[in-house]
Amino acid sequence: MVEPIANQIEQGTLVYDISTNKVGEYRGKAGPYAMLRPLGGGREWEAAPEAVRPATPQERLIASVKAANSRSWVGNSVPYDITTPPSPIPDCQACTDLAVLRYEARARNDGTAETDANVLLRRHQHRDHEIRHRRVFRFVPYAIVQDPSAEPEYEARCVSGDDTDCDATSGPYGNPADVEEWQRKHTQETRHTRYRRSFADYAELEPQPQN
């Protein structure tokens, strides 16, 4: 005697009910029936145990997409960035599944299913990876270039002194050797030996051409 497959299914498993062509979560048995609950909640239904089998990965994904889309997201004002498709996080099964779903949708030119997969992927990443997909400006690469028209400045300030710093400064020089000379002279005159040195220059950010 062959046992109906529903008898071997664990509670919580997503199953396919061939009599209604729906995916549901197996809740257990009620008399002769298998009790199934729609994904995302709702009224349970009774299925003949013979009509129930574990859902395929594809069936599970499609049902998840439908459930997510039918759920009310009113009040959830997370500003998803809808301009950039989300990237799956490596080693995350949910990300991978959704990326596969998106890939398959794209391959069969199903724009609606592709958008659904992106929406699900963003929500999953928002919830499970705490990734905020915000609207972003296009990334522009810059090179940082020293301004050749403005000489770099070297300067030293004497910070010797018991209670307060001496505070004598060399003033800005274009050459570090001039600053050192000033330091030697100041030390000879005052026996002060401790200095704070600084360097300043001007730099500009130049946008780089994008390929």
CB of 97 to Zn ion, least distance (A): 9
CA 163 vs CA 56, 89, 138, 159: distances in Å: 79, 57, 53, 10
Q: How far apart are alpha carbons 156 and 185 in whole angstroms? A: 12
Residues 81-140 contacting Zn ion, CB under 5 A: 89, 92, 94-95
Q: How far apart are alpha carbons 30 and 20 in whole angstroms? A: 18
| CB closer to Zn ion out of 108 and 191 | 191
CB of 187 to Zn ion, least distance (A): 8
Q: How far apart are alpha carbons 116 and 26 in whole angstroms? A: 25
CB of 168 to Zn ion, least distance (A): 5
Residues 151-190 contacting Zn ion, CB under 5 A: 158, 160, 166, 168, 190
Q: How far apart are alpha carbons 117 and 121 in whole angstroms? A: 6
CB of 163 to Zn ion, least distance (A): 13
| Residue whose Cβ sits closest to Zn ion | 166
Q: How far apart are the first and last CA of the chain?
A: 68
| CB closer to Zn ion out of 52 and 119 | 119
Residue 61 touching Zn ion (CB under 5 A): no
C-beta of residue 58 within 8 angstroms of C-beta of residue 23: no
CB of 85 to Zn ion, least distance (A): 14
Size of residue set near Zn ion by CB under 5 A:
10
Q: How far apart are alpha carbons 187 and 195 in whole angstroms? A: 10
Contact residues for Zn ion, defined by CB under 5 A = 89, 92, 94-95, 158, 160, 166, 168, 190, 192
